Chains A and B, each alone.
Chain A
Amino acid sequence: MGNLEKNIALNAENRADFALIAKWIAPNAKVLDLGCGDGALLTKLRKTHNVRAYGVEKDDANWLRAMNNGIDVIQMDLESGLSGFEAQSFDVVILSQTLQAVLNTEAIVKEMLRVGREVIVTFPNFGYWRYRFQLALSGHMPVSDTLPYQWYDTPNVHLCTIQDFDEFCRKSDIVIQERLVLTDKEAVHFMPNMMGALAMYRLRSK
Chain B
Amino acid sequence: MSENSSVGIVAPKIAHFNEPLTLKSGQVLPQFNLIYETYGELNADKSNAVLICHALSGHHHVAGKHSENDKNPGWWDNLIGPGKPLDTNKFFVIGLNNLGGCHGSSGPLSTNPDTDRPWGASFPIVTVEDWVNSQARLADYLGIKQLAAVLGGSLGGMQALQWSIAYPERMRHALVIASAPNLTAQNIAFNEVARQAIITDPEFYEGDYYNHGALPRRGLRIARMLGHITYLSDDAMGAKFGRKLRDGNIKYGFDVEFEMESYLRYQGDKFAGEFDANTYLRMTRALDYFDPALEYGGDLSAALAQVTADFLVVSFTSDWRFSPARSREIVKALLDNELSVSYAEVTAAHGHDAFLMPDAHYHNIMRAYFGKIEV
Contact = CB atoms under 8 A, between A and B. Distances in A.
A168 interface: no
Given A64-B364, A64-B368, A67-B369, A72 B342 contact: yes
A68 B368 contact: yes
B336 interface: yes
A206 B109 CA distance: 67
Contact of B335 (A63, A64, A89): A89
B365 A72 contact: no
Contact of B344 (A30, A52, A75): A75
Interface residues of A, number: 19
A85 interface: yes
B338 A30 contact: yes
A74 B342 contact: yes
Contacts of A30: 338
B335 A54 contact: yes
A84 B365 contact: no
Contact of B341 (A60, A63, A72): A72
B338 A63 contact: no
A203 interface: no
B372 A70 contact: yes
Contacts, number: 48
A72 B345 contact: no
Interface in B181-204: none
A76 B345 contact: yes
A42 interface: no
B314 to A, nearest CB: 9
A67 B335 contact: no
Nearest to A56: B343
B361 A67 contact: no
A204 B347 CA distance: 35
Contacts of A145: none
Given A52-B338, A54-B335, A75 B343 contact: yes
B54 interface: no
Contact of B342 (A60, A73, A84, A86): A73
B368 to A, nearest CB: 5
A168 to B, nearest CB: 29
A64 B365 contact: yes
A176 B130 CA distance: 55
Interface string B340-370: 1111110100000000000001001100110
B331 interface: yes
Given A64-B364, A76-B345, A84 B372 contact: no
B331 A84 contact: yes
Nearest to B338: A52
Contacts of A63: 344
B332 interface: yes
B103 interface: no
A67 B368 contact: yes
Contacts of A71: 342
A126 to B, nearest CB: 32
B347 A60 contact: yes
A84 to B, nearest CB: 5
B224 interface: no
B341 A74 contact: yes
Interface of A: 30, 52, 54, 60, 63-64, 67-68, 70-76, 84-86, 89
Interface of B: 328, 331-332, 335-336, 338, 340-345, 347, 361, 364-365, 368-369, 371-372
Given A73-B342, A76-B345, 5 more contacts: A67-B369, A68-B371, A74-B343, A75-B343, A75-B345
5 contacts: A68-B371, A72-B342, A73-B343, A76-B343, A85-B335
